[in-house]
C-alpha cells in the first residue's frame, strides 16, 4: 500500500468511529495488538471497549492531527472530546466534558491496522470529569 492509502485507512476508521459505526473495526486485522502504556489490548476486546465508550460518552468525537507517515507506519495525535453521560468503568456519570490528547503510531498492512503503539492521557481525562482531583489538590 502507498502512504496515501495507509493514511486513508486511518482517516476512514475515525470517520466511522465518529458516526458510532462499529464497522470501523472491519479496518482492524484479526491479529491486531495495541501496545498501550496501560497494557496490551487485543483485537477481540476492541468492540467491547468501543461499546463501553459510546455508552459512557454520548458525544464522543475523535480527530487526528499532525499525521506523519513512512512506509507502513503512521504516527499522529489523537484528540478525543466528549461528555461523561453514562457509567464508565463503574464510575457514575458526572455530566462533565473532557478533552484528551493521545499519541499513536500504527502499522497498516493490507489495508488494515496490524499493530499500534499508543500513549493515552487517561489521568487528565479522569481529572476533567471530576473523578480524580487535579494535581496539587486534595
Q: Which residues contact 15 (CB under 8 A, 6 or more apart)?
A: none
Kindly state the DSSP code that residue 121 receives in the 8-state scheme: -
72 backbone dihedrals φ, ψ, rounded to 5°:
-100, 15
The confidence score (pLDDT) of residue 135 equals: 77
Using alpha carbons only, give the angle 119, 120, 123 rounded to the nearest 5 degrees: 130
Model pTM score: 0.89
- Determine the Cα–Cα distance for residues 50 and 28; give it in Å rounded to an integer: 13
Q: Per-residue pLDDT tens for 43-88?
A: 989 889 899 999 999 899 999 999 999 989 999 999 999 999 999 9
CATH entry, 3-128, from 3.30.465.10, 3.40.640.10, 3.10.450.50, 3.40.470.10:
3.10.450.50
Is 137 a residue whose pLDDT tops 80?
no
The answer to whether the CB of 115 falls within 8 A of the CB of 108 is no
Amino acid at each position: 500500500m502507498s502512504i496515501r492509502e495507509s493514511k486513508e485507512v486511518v482517516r476512514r476508521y475515525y470517520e466511522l468511529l465518529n458516526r458510532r459505526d462499529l464497522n470501523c473495526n472491519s479496518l482492524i486485522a484479526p491479529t491486531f495488538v495495541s501496545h498501550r502504556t496501560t497494557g496490551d489490548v487485543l483485537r477481540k476486546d476492541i468492540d467491547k471497549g468501543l461499546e463501553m465508550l459510546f455508552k459512557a460518552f454520548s458525544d464522543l468525537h475523535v480527530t487526528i492531527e499532525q499525521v506523519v507517515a513512512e512506509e507502513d507506519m503512521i504516527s499522529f495525535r489523537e484528540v478525543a472530546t466528549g461528555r461523561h453521560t453514562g457509567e464508565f468503568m463503574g464510575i457514575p456519570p458526572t455530566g462533565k466534558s473532557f478533552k484528551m490528547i493521545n499519541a499513536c503510531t500504527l502499522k497498516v498492512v493490507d489495508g488494515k491496522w496490524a499493530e499500534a503503539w499508543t500513549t493515552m492521557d487517561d489521568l487528565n481525562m479522569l481529572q476533567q470529569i471530576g473523578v480524580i482531583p487535579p494535581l496539587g489538590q486534595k
